[in-house]
Amino acid sequence: MPTEYTRLVAALKALTQGESPDPVITLPMAEDEWNTRPDTVSYGMVRLDFEVDALRGDNVKKATAYEGSVDLYSLQRDGAGWVPLITGALTEYCEGAWSLNTHMYERETGLFHWEWAFQVEG
């Protein structure tokens, strides 16, 4: 796994809101997919989707660019405050190589969905 990606996953899993003595809220974040949807107001997913390109030389790959995505599902229209925290982590660990790919509302479940695509070097 690319180091940048591993660091991003760790940072996303460590995202919290609130301070002690108030309850600290964490965002349930799965790598890849949730087998069963968590019963929470908001939850997230992060995964490495595919290899975009590679720099080759001396019959080996010198560097590889991967593209991945982060998803946030929330019952609240503003993402319950998680949107700026996720985009902040993307900016810090992907050096700005990310963009909001989609923002949808699911009528069936009442969930708002954000998807960000990012690129990392491995």
Partner 1 sequence: MAFSIQVDGLDELMRQLGKLEDGGLGIAAQGLYEGAGVMADKVSSAVQGIATEPFKYAKGGKKRKPSPEEKAILANAKTGVAKFRKTGVNVQTSVGMQSSGYAQLGKVTKPIPQIANAINSGTSFMQKQPFFRKATSQAKAQATAAIENKIQEEFEKLDIG
Q: Which residues of the shown chain bind partner 1 in the complex (CB under 8 A)?
A: 33-39, 47, 49-50, 52-53, 67, 69, 71, 73, 101-102, 104, 106, 108-109, 111, 113, 115, 117
Please, which residue, 71 or 89, has the CB nearer to partner 1? Answer: 71
Rank residues 37 and 61 by Cβ distance to partner 1 and give the closer one.
Answer: 37
Q: Residue 9, exposed/middle/buried by CB under 10 A (0-12, 13-18, 19+)?
A: buried
Least gap, CB of 70 to partner 1 (angstroms): 11
**Nearer Cβ to partner 1 (115/121):** 115
Distance CA 97, CA 81 (A): 22
Q: Tell me the CB-side half-sphere exposure of residue 3, using CA atoms within 13 A.
A: 1
Between strands 42-57 and 29-31, the pairing is parallel
Closer to partner 1 by Cβ: residue 49 or 92: 49
CA dist., res. 88 & res. 3, Å (int): 18
In the complex, least distance from residue 100 CB atom to partner 1, rounded to whole angstroms? 11
Q: How far apart are CB 12 and partner 1 at their closest, in Å? A: 16
* Nearest CA among 70, 77, 71 for reference residue 112: 77
